[in-house]
């Protein structure tokens, strides 16, 4: 009986602030330390909200049970404001409303849609590699952020370089600063500048959505596919709603840049993996366009991408709220408590052999550690794609595959001496900006 159980172990911290400051300093370490101390289910209080974290693939079933965990009311108001201020966005919808919206959004990530994005993604990545090779040495983080936003904006809503894209990039940078600022809405604070940037971004995206509604592009981009899927399902999206979803897409999707940085670092730090992967790429895609068939022909590339996804600290948690009192592990989570699924911590669960080690072999057909539990591998959320798992799962995968393959066939690189520690924001980034030294790969055509 629910009422007989104690609250999960943990601390509510100080009155009002709870443990917000410790959490904000480094959410990844916060979760790691408390899980080590209290176990897979622990209690805290963040931004005045009683909160329970659950960690580990074995607990994913609970997180995925819609009778127990809902999305409505799960996102703190300061974050919701930056995401557009209206909870009518896919991560915060439940039940049929979510299922319907998600079906429409996933039209932007069908195999056919992804295939259509590949040439544009390849051209952008090749352009960046050529620039890095010409410069020979420099920090890559800022360029990777730009690459991520430009790639999404190009593929999903057809935005090519120009005034609108430049504004979008500048305003997203202002918004990113607001995510790590104290949520104080006074004039001149980073947070209130972020809210102003959000308004400009939403206005621009609404204009783009309206253009798509009035005159769909001849060759459908992701947004055209979404709008048409929603229309066909009898639930057309208006320009304001489409703009909010696109704003969420950009914020949720740009974090792929952290995975690209982690790829460069992991391949530098693991020369055997790097050379085995380079050999696979040179055997299967030595030059020219890399389409789906070539990507499928490189199984080791997929293993490396999966291992980067598992080991790259990116998302600390996903947001939920207890729909009812939830009994778990001998404790009861009261109704209304926030319930957060610890994502990165679950990537490092002992369900994996030597979880701290970068070891793509764990995903070989012989070992296949993903099979150790239904949701053992959940770096982009647990469960089905039609539920709340990351809509951009395949987009992130192909972007990482292309980036690694193109870099390996074009260049060799190393990381000159620098401070490789991370700033523990979301997603964490290298304090040094990740300085990389580039050389043209032996036999690479047309670069440098």
Pattern 286-325, ligand HEM, x by CB under 6 A: -----------------------x----xx--x-------
> Which residue number, 22 or 263, has a Cβ lying nearer to ligand HEM?
263
Q: Which is nearer to ligand HEM, 175 or 315 (CB)?
A: 315
Which one of residues 62, 121, 237, 255 is an interface residue with ligand HEM (CB under 6 A)?
255
388 near ligand HEM, rule: CB under 6 A: yes
**CA-based torsion, 224, 226, 229, 232: positive or negative:** negative
Question: What track of x and - describes contact with ligand HEM for positions 406 through 445 (by CB under 6 A)?
Answer: ----------------------------------------
How big is the site for ligand HEM, counted in residues (CB under 6 A)?
25
Instruction: Name which of 147 and 444 has its Cβ closer to ligand HEM.
Output: 147
Spatial distance between the Cα atoms of 343 and 313, rounded to a whole number of angstroms: 9
Residues 415 and 406: their CA atoms lie apart, in Å, by 18
Which one of the spans 24-32, 325-333, 364-372, 390-398 is the region binding ligand HEM (CB under 6 A)? 390-398
- Segment interacting with ligand HEM (CB under 6 A) among 162-170, 255-263, 276-284, 415-423: 255-263
CA distances from 52 to 65, 93, 345 (A): 16, 20, 14
What distances in angstroms separate CA 206 from CA 219, 224, 244, 246, 247, one per listed residue? 20, 13, 8, 9, 10
Asked if 194 contacts 179 with a C-beta cutoff of 8 angstroms, the reply is: yes
Considering only 391, 405, 407, 434, the residue that binds ligand HEM (CB under 6 A) is 391
d(CA 382, CA 50): 23
Q: Give the nearer residue to ligand HEM in terms of CB position, either 322 or 396.
A: 396
Among 8, 220, 392, 428, binds ligand HEM (CB under 6 A): 392
Q: Shortest CA distance to 265 belongs to which of 434, 402, 438, 130?
A: 434
Residue 208: closest CA among 194, 218, 221, 198: 221
Residue from 41, 66, 56 nearest 373 by CA: 56
Bond before 427 cis per omega within 30 degrees: yes
Paired sense of beta strands 422-423 and 326-328, if any? unpaired
What x-and-dash track marks residues 171-210 binding ligand HEM by CB under 6 A? Answer: ----------------------------------------
Stretch that binds ligand HEM, among 249-257, 272-280, 299-307, 433-441 (CB under 6 A): 249-257
Would you say 140 or 390 has its CB closer to ligand HEM?
390
């Amino acid at each position: 009986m629910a009422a007989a159980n104690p609250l999960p172990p943990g601390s509510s911290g100080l009155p009002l602030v709870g443990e917000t400051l410790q959490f904000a300093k480094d959410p990844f370490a916060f979760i790691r330390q408390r899980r080590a101390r209290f176990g897979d289910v622990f209690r805290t209080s963040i931004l005045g909200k009683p909160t329970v974290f659950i960690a580990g693939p074995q607990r994913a079933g609970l997180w995925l049970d819609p009778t127990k965990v809902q999305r409505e009311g799960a996102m703190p108001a300061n974050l919701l404001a930056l995401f557009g201020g209206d909870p009518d966005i896919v991560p915060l919808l439940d039940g049929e409303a979510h299922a319907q919206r998600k079906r429409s959004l996933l039209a932007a990530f069908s195999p056919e849609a992804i295939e259509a994005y590949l040439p544009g993604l390849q051209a952008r990545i090749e352009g960046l590699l050529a620039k890095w090779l010409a410069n020979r040495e420099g920090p890559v983080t800022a360029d990777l952020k730009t690459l991520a936003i430009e790639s999404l904006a190009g593929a999903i809503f057809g935005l090519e370089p120009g005034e609108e894209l430049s504004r979008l990039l500048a305003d997203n940078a202002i918004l990113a600063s607001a995510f790590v600022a104290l949520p104080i809405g006074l004039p001149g604070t980073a947070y209130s500048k972020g809210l102003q940037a959000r308004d400009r971004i939403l206005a621009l995206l609404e204009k783009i959505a309206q253009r798509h509604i009035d005159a769909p592009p001849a060759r459908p981009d992701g947004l055209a596919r979404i709008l048409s899927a929603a229309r066909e399902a009898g639930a057309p999206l208006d320009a304001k709603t489409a703009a909010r979803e696109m704003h969420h897409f950009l914020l949720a999707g740009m974090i792929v840049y952290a995975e690209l940085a982690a790829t460069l670092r992991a391949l530098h730090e693991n020369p055997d993996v790097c050379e085995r992967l380079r050999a696979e790429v040179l055997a299967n895609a030595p030059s020219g366009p890399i389409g789906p068939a070539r990507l499928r022909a490189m199984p080791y590339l997929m293993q490396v991408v999966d291992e980067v996804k598992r080991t790259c600290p990116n998302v600390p948690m996903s947001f939920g709220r207890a729909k009812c009192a939830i009994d778990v592990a001998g404790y009861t989570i009261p109704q209304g408590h926030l319930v957060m699924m610890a994502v990165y911590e679950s990537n490092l669960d002992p369900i994996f052999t030597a979880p701290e080690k970068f070891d793509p072999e764990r995903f070989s057909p012989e070992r296949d550690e993903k099979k150790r539990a239904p949701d053992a591998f959940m770096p982009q959320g647990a469960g089905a794609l039609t539920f709340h798992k990351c809509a951009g799962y395949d987009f992130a995968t192909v972007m990482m595959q292309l980036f690694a393959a193109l870099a390996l066939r074009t260049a060799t690189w190393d990381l000159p001496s620098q401070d490789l520690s991370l700033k523990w924001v979301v997603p964490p980034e290298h304090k040094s900006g990740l300085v990389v030294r580039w050389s043209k790969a032996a036999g690479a055509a047309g670069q440098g």
